[in-house]
Amino acid sequence: MSERIVVVGYGMAGARLAAELHARGGNHSVTVLGAEPHRAYNRIMLSTLLAGRIGEPDVELVEAIGPGVGVRTGAAVTAVDRAAREVVTDDGERHGYDHLVLATGSRAVVPPLPGLAPLPERVVPFRTLGDCRRILAAAEGARRVIVLGGGLLGLEAARGLAARGLDVTVVHPVGHLMERQLDPPAGAVLAGTLAGLGVRSRLGVPATAVTADADGVRLHLGDAEPLDADLLVLCCGVRPDTALAAAAGLAVERGVVVDDRMRTSDRRISAIGDCAQHDGTLTGLVAPAWAQARVVADVLTGADPLARYRPRPAVTRLKAAGIDLAAMGDVAGTGDPDGPVEELTFADPARGTYARLRIRDERLTGAILLGDNPAVGTVVQLFDRGAPVPADRRSLLLGRAFGEMPAGPAASPALMPDAATVCRCNDVSKGALVACWRAGARTAAALSAATRAATGCGSCRDAVAGIAGWLAEADPSTTDEVRETVEVGS
């Protein structure tokens, strides 16, 4: 008898788990229940959709699932009956399981401000594809937009809306943007870059209330004049969706508590992605969610019963038109042990450039790179692998690094080690891309299809294209084949 696996949630984590289970085969059936009425989509690309650079079909996830995997959209799970091993959907259907996986994600935080309960028509959180549709509909007749929240998501939304020609103001209660990832000088340079792109910033001012009517929306600010706009977009953070787990009696803290095998306090129930709390930590990023999906698939199918989730250091990337930012590690040094630390900083606000490196024992413990810096790929690799930094620190700080990812004409993928990670979201190395090239994947698109590289946050897309170009030049025998492929597809 086949094992019944039920996955609650058809977002980036749930869809990837279904694909990983299908890829491993085995004697099991998989049912995926998604509350949203559409197919799984790449949430990271929603800001690009806001900007009008892509359409809805471009954000849809194309995961390889087939026989043995059933997907139901528009089916919200309302209860888990652990005694009967069943889940109940909002239409009354019951689905039995031998193992249940919660991939319920997180929900947008709506701040407890007067005027936001219930949400006025001109106020929209930015989290889901449905939210994106509502924002775009409201933006059709709008001229001015306020984005409340100057974190990563808020800035992506602001840049996307500004790209549509809207007058955008970001309001943030902290004195500088992206305070979780950036120091104040970097935040100031970023604010200057955004201003040049049509996005103003109001910093260090708390929002106190919202009033809205058919003519517009007003955001009231502490000790400052209120701001008027046609649309208010809420980007005030997210909160893990743990309601289902808590109601079922599972151990819940900030998220659903899981062990190294992603099992909850009930060994027949796992949790992955934004809703899961591993070793006291929430993720909120796609790379760890997909790594967790691989672990659960290995354990449930028996492909690797001893698989364990081991988190990697997080790297935050903000890549929008006119903005290139990478932040990683602890630049404040709050987690450093006692001992000597090297601090290197370079700032050129006029050019929108800022770089800061924190080095201990010849290894990077934190870094911020903002603006056009060809060394960003090398810095990420050094941080990721814990490798020694070069003796010439300026090569990293000013962008003249050796062994750089293909970010500029002087850089060559030939200098990258095969073990270098090109796509962090899917854990794809340069060696894996080379192997797929030799197996017949002779274009960047083919390499992405074979390895999933560049299908997550997309920040490695240029690197994958650069490696494909380098391989084509390094192997002249494939030049005609590549040209033929391009001509046929053009």
**Of 44-53, 128-137, 392-401, highest mean pLDDT:** 128-137
Distance CA 101, CA 458 (A): 27
Residues 6 or more apart whose Cβ sits within 8 Å of residue 295:
261, 262, 307, 308, 309
* pLDDT at res. 204: 96
- What domains are defined for the chain? 3-105+241-301 (3.50.50.60), 109-237 (3.50.50.60), 324-398 (3.30.390), 413-478 (1.10.10.1100)
From CA 474, how far away is CA 138, in angstroms rounded? 50
Report in angstroms the alpha-carbon separations of 7 from 11, 116, 228, 456.
10, 33, 43, 21
How does DSSP classify residue 38?
S
Q: Which residue has the higher pLDDT, 218 or 283?
A: 218
Query: Tens digits of per-residue pLDDT, 229-249?
Result: 999 999 999 999 999 999 999
Task: Write down the pTM of the prediction.
Answer: 0.87
* CA–CA separation, 66 and 240 (whole Å): 30
Residue 403 pLDDT grade (very low, low, confident, very high; cuts 50, 70, 90)? very low
pLDDT band at 1 (very low <50, low <70, confident <90, very high): low
436 φ, ψ (degrees, to nearest 5)? -70, -35
Report how far Cα 412 is from the mean position of its chain's Cα atoms: 27
Amino acid identity, residue 103? A
CA distances 126 to 48, 109, 248, Å, are: 13, 10, 29
Q: What does the longest C-alpha to C-alpha distance in the chain come to?
A: 69
Q: What pLDDT does 407 receive?
A: 38
DSSP 352-394: TEEEEEEEETTEEEEEEEESS-TTHHHHHHHHHHTPBPPS-TH
Q: Residue 256 in contact with residue 276, Cβ under 8 Å?
A: yes
